[in-house]
């Protein structure tokens, strides 16, 4: 259940994308609500702790559906960022110099980063890393955090801010879906249905492999942390 901090947001979302329906989500989510916005399937996803007074609090992500298209992408500020794997390239050198986008499939994501999407990214994150993410069939943007900020309690996102973020996630989802479908149709027209299916299957296999690598890295990280903690206890317990 949502705490009092988020209740005004839920009420605004009911007006914007309602009627809301509760759906299953990731294990890290304590509330996932779906609705419709501008004809697109969208959702509100709360991750983290339920209690707002917690030092970590919870985070609201708003997302728009990509269907079952195997697309994975996220955008960071280029300065100080390292991304392993394919990255997108746009027709805008100034954008590519400022931002770097992890992209699978690279040509699909590159094509989706058109002028409208690039302008949105510049407007929303002019000097910080973005929270724009596409994975597991959803494009998401962080819409709010309940944890206190540097100056105290964070303001609850307004209905206008929620609508603006929904506009942006729907825009990106539409561009990614259109780019993916256009690429698949082009392959089918030029090389046949079998090759188009093979391309799609390779995209899915690539994403599955990357997720396995991510799980392995996370597991190794936990082992290293556990070993470090054990070493500290051993050293001070002697």
In contact, 103 and 180? CB cutoff 8 Å: no
Over residues 229-235, mean pLDDT = 59
Residues 6+ apart with CB under 8 A from 71: 104, 105, 108, 109, 134, 135, 176, 180, 203
Half-sphere exposure of 137 (CA within 13 A, CB side): 8
Give residue-wise pLDDT tens across range 133-172.
Answer: 999 999 999 999 987 766 667 789 999 999 999 999 999 9
How many other C-beta atoms are found inside a 10 Å radius of the C-beta of residue 163?
A: 18
Mean pLDDT score across all residues of the chain: 87
Find the radius of gyration of the CA atoms of the chain. 20
pLDDT of residue 129: 85
Over residues 175-191, mean pLDDT = 97
pTM for this entry: 0.84
Over residues 8-37, mean pLDDT = 94
pLDDT of residue 8: 94
In contact, 16 and 166? CB cutoff 8 Å: yes
pLDDT of residue 154: 79
DSSP letter assigned to residue 79: T
Is the predicted pLDDT of residue 226 greater than 90, yes or no? no
3-state helix, strand, coil in the chain (%, to 5): 45, 25, 30
Residues 6+ apart with CB under 8 A from 108: 71, 176, 179, 180, 183
- Overall size of the chain counted in residues: 238
pLDDT of residue 208: 87
Least confident of 22-36, 49-63, 117-131: 49-63
Is the predicted pLDDT of residue 127 greater than 50, yes or no? yes
Is the predicted pLDDT of residue 71 greater than 70, yes or no? yes
Is the predicted pLDDT of residue 121 greater than 80, yes or no? yes
pLDDT of residue 210: 76
In contact, 57 and 66? CB cutoff 8 Å: no
Give residue-wise pLDDT tens across range 57-70.
Answer: 889 999 999 999 99
Is the predicted pLDDT of residue 117 greater than 70, yes or no? yes
């Amino acid at each position: 259940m949502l705490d009092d901090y988020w209740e005004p947001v839920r009420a605004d979302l009911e007006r914007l994308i309602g009627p809301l329906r509760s759906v299953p989500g990731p294990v890290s989510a304590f509330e996932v609500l779906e609705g419709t916005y501008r004809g697109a399937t969208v959702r509100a996803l709360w991750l983290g702790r339920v209690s707002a007074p917690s030092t970590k609090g919870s985070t609201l992500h708003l997302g728009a559906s990509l269907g079952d298209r195997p697309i994975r992408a996220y955008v960071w500020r280029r300065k100080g960022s390292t991304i392993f794997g394919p990255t997108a390239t746009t027709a805008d050198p100034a954008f590519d110099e400022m931002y770097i986008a992890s992209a699978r499939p690279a040509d699909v994501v590159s094509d989706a980063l058109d002028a409208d999407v690039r302008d949105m990214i510049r407007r929303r994150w002019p000097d910080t890393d973005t929270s724009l993410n596409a994975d597991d069939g959803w494009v998401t943007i962080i819409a709010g955090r309940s944890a206190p900020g540097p100056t105290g309690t964070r303001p609850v996102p307004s209905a206008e801010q929620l609508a603006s973020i929904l506009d942006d996630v729907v825009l990106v989802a539409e561009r990614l879906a259109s780019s993916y479908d256009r690429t698949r149709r082009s392959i089918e027209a030029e090389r046949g249905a079998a090759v188009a299916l093979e391309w799609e299957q390779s995209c899915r296999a690539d994403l599955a492999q990357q997720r396995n690598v991510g799980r392995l890295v996370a597991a190794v990280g936990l082992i290293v942390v556990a070993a470090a903690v054990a070493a500290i206890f051993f050293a001070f317990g002697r």
